[in-house]
Structure formats: C-alpha cells, structure tokens
Amino acid sequence: MKIAIIGGGIGGLCAAVTLQKQGFSVQVFEANPTFLPVGAGIGIGSNALQALMEIGVGEDVFANGHVLHTQVFQDEFGKTLNTIDFTVLKKLYGQENITIHRADLHRTLLEALEPNTLHFNKKCISVDQSDTQVTVHFEDGTTVTADLLIAADGIHSSIRQQLVPDSLPKYAGYTCWRGITENRGRVDEYTSTELWSTQGRFGMAPMKNGLVYWFACINTTARNPQFQHLTSQEIGDLFHHFPEVVHNIITTTPFENILHHDISDIKPLRQFAFGRVVLLGDAAHATTPNMGQGAGQAIEDAIVLGNGFKQFEHVDKVLAFYEQKRVARTAKVIRLSRQIGATAQIQFRPLAGVRDFLFSFIPSKVLMGRLKFLFDVKLK
C-alpha cells in the first residue's frame, strides 16, 4: 500500500514513522521550503510519551525533555490557588509529563524516517479520489496518487475544508505570545506555574539546558493591529501587574524567540475518514492549548492509526477503528480545553474573585481526576 501524508508537522511525521516501521511505503509532502528549527516549548503528557514508546522514539524524546513534577495555579499577586501533583502519573502509567522544545521533538521524528521520505515546497491545493485511490494536486502543477491519503496539514487544512466546508477555525477570544529564554533561577526546576488575572494570563515552565518556556494571553478581538509586532518590552508592559518575575522573563526574551498567534480551535467533527482520505492532528481536531494536548493528541492519532493496520487488513475497517478511538476522545479535549481557557480568561473582576475562591477549595486529587481520561489512554 502506498500512503501519502500532507503536512510535515508533528502529527504527519509521527504517522510516517509509525507506518514505515510496519513496512508501508510512505511519502510526506510539506508546503514549507525547508525544515525550520523554530517554535516554542510544548508539553508532552504521559499519554503521548506512552504512545511514542510504542514506536521506538519515546526514549529519545524523553532524553530531550525536562520532567515536570508539579503544576501550580496562582492569582495575579502570586498567591497559590491550587496545585496538581504530576508525580502520580509515573506510578500509575509508567511515564511522566515533560516539556520539550518543539524543534527537538520535530527533529527526533525526522531522524527516525527513512531517507527521501519528506518532500518540501509541496503545497496541496485539492484532492480527488476513487473507491481505491486518491490523487493529490499540488500548487506547483504536480500530482501524486496513493492508496490512502493522511491529511495532517494543520488547523487551516485545505483538505478538511474541501471535505467539510463549514469547518473553519473558530477564534477563542484571546491572543497569545510564546517565548523561550534563559531561566537564571527564576522558575523552579520541576514546577510549571500559571497566573490568572482579569487583565491577562501568564504561564511559565522549565525546560532542559537551563531554559524556560512562557506564554502570555490577553483578551482582544481577532487580528487586533494593536497587538501585532510588539517588542519584548511592550509585551512585558502588558503584564506589569503580575509579580516582577513575569515582566522580567518576558523582557529578557530575545525578540526572535517570541511567537505571536490568535488562539483558535475547530468545532468537533463527527467523522475523520472520508473514503480514502483520513484527517489527523490539528486538521482533524485543532484545540486551544489550555490542556497542552495539541501535539499529544496528534501523536495518539498516529499510533492508533498504525495499530489499526496491525489489527485489520481492509482499509475501511482500519479507518472505522481509528474513528471509534479518536472522534469522541478528541472532541472531549476540544470542549474541555475551550472551557478551561474561558474560565482562566475571565475579565469581570467579581466573577474572577468567585472563581479564585472556589478553585482554592477543590482538592488536587479532584483536579487530577478530571484529567484521568487523558492519561488512561487506550491506543489499541
């Protein structure tokens, strides 16, 4: 079987590694002209590490990552509202939560591919299919025909929008800056911290090699020109009301290490497979980043799809298995992540006060219990 994958991001590469290890002929087509080692830090949950271990790259990913033991939530004055103990994940599921530079995860997957698998400057503009084959049309005028097409071309997937025209990204109501800078002892070595206020939200987490990853979100209209192209100092000034460490981390981040995006997701889809075309990763279930599960859910997709081919010979049964495992689970992540974001981004001060008061009384075990479905993942 010949399999074509559109999109050389984490989901597409993970799918390629998974399927090549099973002996399939796989080619990946990426719209960008080259692999650029850019991006911010990301979280890889215990669930995603479990999946990566199955395809033989988990140890390398773990070696490039940094373990998190605790998640702390604070108010704008730095008062702790609640904590989550991540160390129980190792005891329960055998893997831990880590942070990693997106480029390091990307590179690890690239190195696990067979030579000449990835092709650049290949922007897909449309697909058409018969009962047994799919033809991909690229912007450069070339075409590729395969027995199965995996669309892993992100939240703005042209393939998804061709198949489901009303599946356009939905703005979540806030914009976000992300960056990486030197830690310099400003962030606890094993603790991820998130601070909430009515004027914005800030998160910071340690990474390997003495680095810290941070994000800063503020409610605004989509594509607000006021927040485009801000300097590190200007971004820091937006969050001056937080403890001094927040302003310090932002303003000491080199401008070239800062990314800025409006935050969006897509309405959960009812199906991921359309004949011989299957959606994967953000193309299938783009979510807001509030649960740190964007990469993790794409990785799960890839391993589940691969496990489907181990169990079934006919493609239709493989794709039915994939949908049965992935559609409801990823829809739950999308909804819960949007709910968490809306709660954390509350601007009305009295309502925020009630949120903080009630949140402080929720036992940590209850918070972890709400996430149990994430880590207790069934990949087969």
Domain boundaries, the chain: 2-169+265-375
- What is the per-residue pLDDT for 239? 98
pLDDT for position 35: 80
Contacts of 334 (CB under 8 A, 6+ apart): 265, 266, 267, 268, 285, 286, 287, 288
Q: Is 347 exposed, middle or buried (0-12, 13-18, 19+ CB in 10 A)?
A: middle
Using alpha carbons only, what angle is made at residue 272 by residues 342 and 103, rounded to the nearest 5 degrees? 65
pLDDT band at 302 (very low <50, low <70, confident <90, very high): very high
The answer to whether the beta carbons of residues 330 and 279 sit under 8 Å apart is: no
Measured in degrees and rounded to the nearest 5, phi and psi for residue 88 equal -70, -20
Q: What is the pLDDT of residues 314-330, one digit of tens each?
A: 999 999 999 999 999 99
- Asked whether the beta carbons of 156 and 234 are under 8 A apart, the reply is no
**Rounded to 5 degrees, what are φ and ψ at 364?**
-55, -35
pLDDT tens digits for range 30-70 = 999 988 766 789 999 888 998 899 899 999 999 999 999 99
State pLDDT tens for residues 101-111. Answer: 999 999 999 99
Instruction: Say what percent of the chain tops pLDDT 90.
Output: 88
Model pLDDT for residues 1-14, shown as the tens digit of each residue:
999 999 999 999 99
Give the pLDDT confidence score for residue 38 in this predicted structure. 67
Find, among 303, 374, 299, 293, the residue nearest to 341 by Cα.
293
> 88 vs 80, 84, 187, 229, 295, CA distance in Å?
20, 10, 22, 41, 22
Mean pLDDT of 247-267: 96
pLDDT at 54: 87
The distance in angstroms from the start CA to the end CA of the chain is 21
**Checking phi first, is residue 84 left (phi over 0); if not, alpha (psi -120 to 50) or beta?**
beta
pLDDT at 192: 97
Q: Write the single-letter amino acid at 246.
A: V
Instruction: Tell whether the model's pLDDT for residue 371 goes beyond 90.
Output: no
Q: Which residue has the tokens 């807001």?
A: 288
Q: Is the pLDDT of residue 369 over 90?
A: no
Mean pLDDT on 359-372: 90
Instruction: Please tell me the distance from the alpha carbon of residue 3 to that of residue 25, in angstroms, as a whole number.
Output: 6
The reported pLDDT for the residue numbered 37 is 65
**CATH of 2-169+265-375 among 3.30.300.30, 3.50.50.60, 3.10.580.10, 1.20.1250.20:** 3.50.50.60
Chain-centre distance for alpha carbon 44? 9
Total count of residues recorded for the chain: 380
Dihedral of CA atoms 155, 156, 160, 164 in degrees, nearest 10, equals 100
Helix residue ranges, H only, the chain: 10-20, 46-54, 58-64, 87-93, 102-111, 158-163, 232-238, 244-251, 282-285, 294-311, 315-344, 349-359, 364-370, 372-375
DSSP label at residue 102? H
The type of residue at 239 is F
Assess contact for 213 and 236: CB atoms under 8 A. no
